[in-house]
């Protein structure tokens, strides 16, 4: 008994020492970590609940509008009963209308590529367009549109469906890059431009530029494709898929029917952060930010802490209410499905031609359509057959072509630029110029490197020896 009591006493004494040590080491009462980044999101949520909703067509002003009144059958068999295309222009169209250049935009850009008297704000390609510049407005009439499916004046998911009086939202038909280009050529018809001096674009704009030359070879005098592809590759598809998943996971997304409620601003912010990582390069960020922190004297934080984090946070914050979420979904999906192969172009044409107007076509959601495509047996299996199909798709693209790639581009690597140049040459085009730029700005080089990108474009557009 005495031994048992002694052991129990020793255990109690040990527990007392442990509790004393815990009290000594715990210090003052603990407080929860602060999350100012989440506080800002919650504050914006409250502001959006109070209204008003964003008006994307007010983000860009001063554009002209072409209205197409006839039904427009899309490649995936949806029908628009007319559409609007917002466009801006610079320079003067000559008497025979032979000096027009069509500039194609990337995913989220507006028609405002350059400032003008109706909108003096700098455009997204401000330093490339103007007197004496790469696209010389003393010589050329330069046109830029907001793509079909966008939200800056052109018809898109945020537009009102004339048949219902309600916003399209996700009843809007799925689009392809081919659809976007065909809509642009309706605008050219309206302007009386039968043949472009050149079709020019970067990123998704490069896809459109190549597509324009393939669909309408007799109407495109020269081709410029920068940091694009002949067909979307798995890596870029995966990155855009991640963006769409982040966006659609926002509880405010509501399957695309959010226009009378709170916008899916958190999902948009996350999607833009992912996209921004793909637009630039590691070497640039090493030099620009390194491992520097915003406030190194403070303890680490889970909200933006490193300078690279604050940059991503700022860029995505700016974007999240400046562009329509549904437009991001639809236009990015069009990028994923882009493939200039002959078999794909012909299949899309057959689908379009099979539509009987005035008969209802059930909307197809994005996931359903992906599953349908995944279940189709492909007739193209080997690398050789894929290449042959691509070459057949550009067999009529014989005009002078400039293809530019950037070695630090991870979204559209130079391998894909070489593929464009290769298939054009294999198709019989003897006037293909290919350049690789050793710039550190990644995919966004086409927006930044005015000297090298601008000089290549200017030389291609103005070289008279390219025309046989």
Is the peptide bond preceding residue 52 cis, with omega within 30 degrees of 0?
yes
Catalytic residue among 110, 154, 199, 203: 203
Residue 443 annotated to the active site: yes
Alpha-carbon torsion, ordered 249, 250, 252, 255, to 10 deg: -20
φ and ψ at residue 65, rounded to 5 degrees: -130, 130
Catalytic residue among 179, 336, 389, 409: 409
What is the three-class DSSP state of 428? coil
What does each C-alpha distance from 181 to 195, 242, 271 come to in angstroms?
14, 26, 26
Residue 31 annotated to the active site: no
Q: DSSP label at 349?
A: H
- E strands, 293-410, where? 401-406
End-to-end Cα distance, the chain: 113
- The rounded distance, in Å, linking the Cα atoms of 154 and 156 is 6
DSSP string, 31-72: -PPP-HHHHHHHHHHHHHHHSPPP-GGGTS-S-EEEEEEEEE
Q: DSSP label at 173?
A: P
CB 391 within 8 A of CB 200: no
- The rounded distance, in Å, linking the Cα atoms of 238 and 247 is 14
Catalytic residue among 104, 112, 216, 443: 443
Residue 409 annotated to the active site: yes
Q: What angle do the packed helices 342-353 and 383-393 form, to 10 degrees?
A: 60
**Residue positions annotated with a catalytic role:** 203, 409, 443
């Amino acid at each position: 008994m005495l031994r048992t009591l002694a052991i129990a006493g020793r255990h109690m004494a040990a527990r007392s020492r442990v509790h004393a040590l815990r009290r000594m080491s715990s210090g003052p009462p603990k407080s929860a970590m602060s999350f100012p980044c989440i506080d800002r999101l919650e504050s914006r949520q409250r502001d959006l609940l109070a209204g008003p909703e964003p008006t994307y067509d007010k983000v860009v002003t001063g554009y002209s509008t072409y209205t197409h009144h006839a039904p427009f059958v899309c490649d995936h068999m949806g029908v628009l009963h007319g559409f609007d295309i917002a466009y801006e222009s610079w320079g003067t169209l000559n008497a025979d209308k032979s000096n027009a250049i069509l500039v194609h935009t990337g995913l989220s850009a507006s028609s405002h590529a350059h400032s003008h008297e109706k909108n003096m704000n700098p455009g997204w390609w401000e330093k490339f367009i103007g007197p004496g510049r790469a696209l010389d407005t003393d010589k050329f009439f330069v046109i830029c549109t907001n793509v079909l499916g966008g939200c800056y004046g052109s018809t898109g998911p945020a537009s009102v469906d004339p048949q219902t009086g309600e916003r399209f939202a996700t009843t809007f038909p799925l689009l392809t890059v081919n659809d976007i280009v065909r809509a642009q050529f309706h605008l050219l018809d309206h302007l009386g431009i039968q043949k472009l001096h050149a079709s020019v674009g970067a990123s998704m704009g490069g896809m459109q530029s190549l597509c324009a030359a393939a669909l309408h070879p007799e109407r495109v005098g020269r081709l410029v494709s920068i940091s694009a592809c002949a067909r979307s590759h798995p890596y870029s598809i995966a990155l855009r898929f991640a963006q769409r998943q982040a966006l659609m996971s926002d509880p405010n997304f509501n399957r695309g029917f959010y226009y009378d409620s709170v916008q899916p601003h958190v999902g948009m912010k996350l999607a833009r952060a992912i996209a921004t990582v793909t637009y630039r390069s590691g070497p640039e960020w090493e030099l620009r930010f390194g491992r520097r922190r915003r406030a190194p004297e403070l303890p680490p934080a889970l909200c933006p802490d490193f300078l690279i984090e604050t940059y991503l946070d700022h860029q995505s914050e700016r974007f999240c209410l400046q562009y329509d979420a549904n437009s991001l979904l639809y236009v990015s999906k069009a990028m994923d499905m882009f493939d200039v192969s002959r078999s794909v172009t012909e299949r899309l044409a057959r689908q379009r031609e099979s539509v009987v107007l005035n008969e209802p076509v059930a909307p197809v959601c994005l996931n359903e359509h992906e599953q349908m495509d995944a279940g189709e047996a492909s007739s193209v299996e080997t690398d050789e057959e894929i290449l042959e199909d691509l070459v057949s798709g550009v067999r009529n693209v014989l005009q002078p072509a400039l293809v530019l790639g950037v070695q630090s581009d991870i979204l559209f690597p130079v391998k894909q630029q070489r593929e464009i140049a290769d298939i054009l040459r294999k198709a019989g085009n003897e006037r293909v110029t290919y350049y690789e730029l050793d710039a550190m700005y990644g995919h966004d080089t086409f927006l930044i490197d005015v000297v090298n990108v601008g000089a290549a474009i200017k030389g291609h557009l103005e070289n008279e020896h390219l025309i046989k």
